[in-house]
Structure 1
Amino acid sequence: MLRMTSAAPNVDRAEADLAALVERVSVARMRATVYELAGDRYAGRRVGTPGGHAAATWLAERLGELGAEVRLSGFDVADVRELYETPVLEWSADRRARRLEHRRDFVEHLASAELPHPRSAPLAGPSETSLRGRWVLAQAGDWARVCERAEAQGAAGVLTARGADADGWMPKMIAGPPARQVPVIALHTEVHARMAEALAGGPVQVTGSMPLRRIATRGHNVYARFPHTPHPEGGDDREGGSRVLLTAHYDGVGDDPDRRLPAAADNASGVAAVLEAARVLSAAPAPAVRELTVGFLDAEEAGAWGSAHHAPALPPDTLLINLDGAAQLHQAASVEAGGPAHALLAVLDQAARRTGVPLRAGAMASDNRRYAAAGLAAIGIGMGMPGYQTPAETPDRVQPDTLVAAARLLVATVWLLSGRARPDLAL
């Protein structure tokens, strides 16, 4: 419940208005949005896919229903990693064969060369003199140097080590370093250790494929501008107040060829909270700010292409709040401020105090950084992503209380930026 902080009658009234406004946030609407975007027909919402474009269209329709002026803006995206078939990895020692499970036991390394068909070869340690025609077992911190030797000697490929999450999944990514000239496969650390132990005791045979290619595609941002209306008490504040942009990326990493990756936390949850905040603010009895816009951004997972396309076109006085993850609030929401955001950060802090949302400084490597790099006041907020970029990132793991906290924080921040509740906080 919103906490009141002043006894002045006019401030009390404004605070009461804000308290009533944040109570309009609907958890049912937000959960419905999360379940919709995580559904089968969107297929993980990767940039450039039919599922990704369908999600953009659905969001544009929802924003239009709120009375916003909506448009889609297309842009080119390069070097997206596309896994077009399920990769294979098997190894054998002491006449015993072991077939490994993709995303549990091994995963694509984003620097891998394409290997469309399985290749069988003996396994070698990185210190062996000759690597030609052999798979090479490299340590996680040494894979790049081993790749150089493997490329020079014509090795079959390189196997390196990588950890898994608490659920035992190895997350999927679609943007990474430049491609090597040899296939590179990342093994679960435990599998890597077992292979190394087996290799120390005798010959090991490996069969692996990596049907991973790099593609160019096209993304689509969804922009919505909510029309300005005069204050009911008279006058028109077009020349004053703040120009606020709320953003969240709607794209995901896309499904695997044989598995769903619902992308419920990252970032259907953030989109749901921004959409609900926009609904509440657009239906408020008085406009909260000079201009309120929403951007649902594409291609964040491929390298934040959507925000890079958008940021240079914005007026320099735009105040940006980006929400990436609103699924599992633990001790506090992570907040990163960039650009000339000191005053905006102070307003966010006041909104957090009023809505009871704890904040802490933390890295938020998301679209907010593109806007900050363009010289805008930009804040990134994150409230957790259980199952991050794995099949376990399902809608049931998105906590309703976290969705409510995120939406209320956004609503309160935008309202306070108008100066109605506290004139000294207006920017």
Structure 2
Amino acid sequence: MMAPADLLDLLGQVDPARMTATVVTLASDPMAGRRVGSAGGAAARAWLVDQLTALGADVRTEGFPVRAVPQVYQAPAVTWGDRDGSTPLAFGRQVAIHPASADTTHPRRGALGIAHTDDPAGRWLVVPAGMSLFDAYRDTQGAAGLLVRRPVDADGWQFTMLAGPDPGPLPVLTLNPDTHHAVLTAAARGEGWLDAATPLRREDVTGTNIHGEFRPAGPGGTELLLTAHYDGVGDHPGLRLPAASDNATGVAVVLEAARVLATALPSGVGLSVALLDGEEVGALGSAHHATQLRASGAAPLVINVDGAGHLDAAAAVEAGGPAHRLLALLDQAGRHTGVPLAAGPVASDNRRYGGAGFAAVGIGAGMGGYHSPADTPDKVDPTTLAATTRLVIATAHLAATAPATRSAPTTGRDS
């Protein structure tokens, strides 16, 4: 299917070099991983406000409360040993702190044991791979802590999570598969020890969304809302987590798509951008925004991008809310741009908008080094950035040139 000439012109305006520069800036040292409520997040926000303003948007920011954000405030010194000697464990690779861990500043040394097998008193209990943390907490009276298996990425890094279970009563460390196997084997032989602290505090902070309106919708006109989260999980002491693919790439796509679309849409079609904070702590920024939209009576078509680092076989697409028409337009845009699409989970801010009753689609076009030091700009593919941006532009253009009757969001329980 041939794209209309005006759409082809818009697609030709996409600049991969500009988007690559955006990713490099957001993943740079001054942004410090962009954790919600952090100085790095504030630096990223100030830069993004300037970018949207330069593009001609009417920009405002809005804060919302975020409770108990976990933060490793000191690299943990962890050593384990058996009859063959002792081994210090590398933070981020062999060992990390689980987000449900208690905060301990002084090292605890104890013998190794196996959860639900050995007397827990004074022991670091190794949790077998098939046992959940919830189950492991049973029968831990007096234990020194828990040791949980966690997979690593292709570069050998463990991933960092901010959202998860509430903190428990014990220190909890995560071990890479090889280390977990070694300590479990030692514990099964009735030998071995571990010495570690878990310096992990939780802070109540303020998340801040960035809203940019390029043009309001006319009466009964189509409203387009392009969204991406700009926060990451933040750096650790001694470890950079650049958050390039997740989600500097999504932000770069939204900025570039807005730049192209801002002066190209028909009269009466509205265009806004929301760069969202707090996605990594449970998509709280989009939940806050979706509630505001419902209260205002708005009914935008929402296109959310989370991860545009490296397109493999197809871009993942997830629809929510009354998105039948939007999904059909996205499918048509995929054919116009040559971007293959496949139904798949996009567990991001799109779910908050869809859950609030808005027509929403989430697009994910790949990411590497998920939540780890391996998520660097050099692993972001410029052709994927360009392809994803063209897909967003084509979808928005098709929605704007073949508008449907405006309808209020569906009634339902907000997420």
**Alignment TM class, shorter chain as reference:** over 0.9
User: Is 1:403–2:410 an aligned residue pair?
Assistant: no
Instruction: Give percent identity, aligned residues only.
Output: 50
User: Is 1:249–2:229 an aligned residue pair?
Assistant: yes
User: Is 1:104–2:102 an aligned residue pair?
Assistant: no
Selected match of 1:290 from 269, 274, 281: 269
Change (3 A) 1:424 1:277: closer
CA displacement at 1:289 relative to structure 2: 6.0
The equivalent residue for 2:311 is 329
What are the equivalent positions in structure 2 for 1:166-315 lying under 5 Å apart?
166-227=154-215, 238-284=218-264, 286-287=265-266, 290-314=269-293, 315=297
Selected match of 1:144 from 134, 153, 177: 134
The equivalent residue for 1:233 is none
Q: Deviations over 1:120-177 (max 9, x none)?
A: 1111122445211111111133232222211xx2111111211111221111111110
1 CA distance for matches of 2:74 and 2:268?
49
2 CA distance for matches of 1:330 and 1:126?
40
Amino acid at match of 2:357: G
Q: Deviations over 1:19-51 (max 9, x none)?
A: 011100011110110000000000000000111
* 1:162 and 1:187 in contact (8 A); partners too: yes
Q: Tell me, what secondary structure is at the counterpart of 1:301?
A: helix
* 2:113 and 2:190 in contact (8 A); partners too: no
Selected match of 1:389 from 371, 378, 384: 371
Selected match of 2:143 from 155, 159, 162: 155
Aligned length: 402
2 CA distance for matches of 1:140 and 1:69?
51
Change (3 A) 1:116 1:287: farther
CA displacement at 1:356 relative to structure 2: 0.6
Q: Tell me, what secondary structure is at the counterpart of 1:43?
A: helix
Q: Could you say what the CA RMSD is over the residues aligned between the two structures, in angstroms? A: 1.6
Unaligned runs of 5+ in 1: 6-14, 229-236
Greater than 4 Å deviation, 4+ residue runs: 424-427
* 1:86 and 1:257 in contact (8 A); partners too: yes
Q: Tell me, what secondary structure is at the counterpart of 2:184?
A: helix
2 CA distance for matches of 1:50 and 1:424?
42
Amino acid at match of 2:302: L
> Given the two structures, how large is their TM-score scaled by the length of structure 2?
0.93
Amino acid at match of 2:283: A
Change (3 A) 1:40 1:319: same
Unaligned runs of 5+ in 2: 407-415
Q: Tell me, what secondary structure is at the counterpart of 2:56?
A: coil
